Amino acid sequence: MRLIFSALAGALFGAGLFVSGMTDTRKVQGWLDIFGNWDPTLAFVMGGAILPMALAWWVTTRRSASLIGVPFPPRAEPVLDRRLIGGSVLFGLGWGLAGLCPGPAIASLSYGGTGGLVFLAAMLAGMAVSPVMARLLDSSRAAA
């Protein structure tokens, strides 16, 4: 049952990304082009995502498990450290340069052409290298 709901949620998310135009790299890059041909569409998409998510978080504070019985994970501690800030900067740079982030990249695989596949390969490589780099940075910091 959990896999069915996960697949439905993923399909709904992908359809939402497609319908909102967030799989179009020009939309994302247009949002970042504040001194040129600025496109405010992304603000409406973000607002449309933040409101239902705020409601979902509110509901989870009153329940211990989902409707299918899966317990909610504990909330993460709101810690701003070097890893979070560094990862956010790298994510933002990649998002601005490529115009894609993981969700839209996967959603656009069916029609994204070679550029989408290159992005996916780079994203997977980054995901594979990230834990290794984190261990190296943590061990070098501990040794210093």
3-class secondary structure per residue, 42-87: HHHHHHHHHHHHHHHHHHHCCCCECCCCCECCCCCCCCCCHHHHHH
86-101 pLDDT tens trace:
888 988 888 888 888 8
pLDDT bucket at 55, cuts 50 / 70 / 90: very high
Calculate the average pLDDT of the chain: 85
Question: Residues 119-123: what's their mean pLDDT?
Answer: 87
Asked whether the predicted pLDDT for residue 112 surpasses 70, the reply is: no
Q: pTM surpassing 0.75?
A: no
Nearest CA-CA partner of 83 in 134, 118, 135: 134
For the chain, the first-to-last Cα distance in angstroms comes to 49
Nearest CA-CA partner of 70 in 135, 128, 126, 5: 5
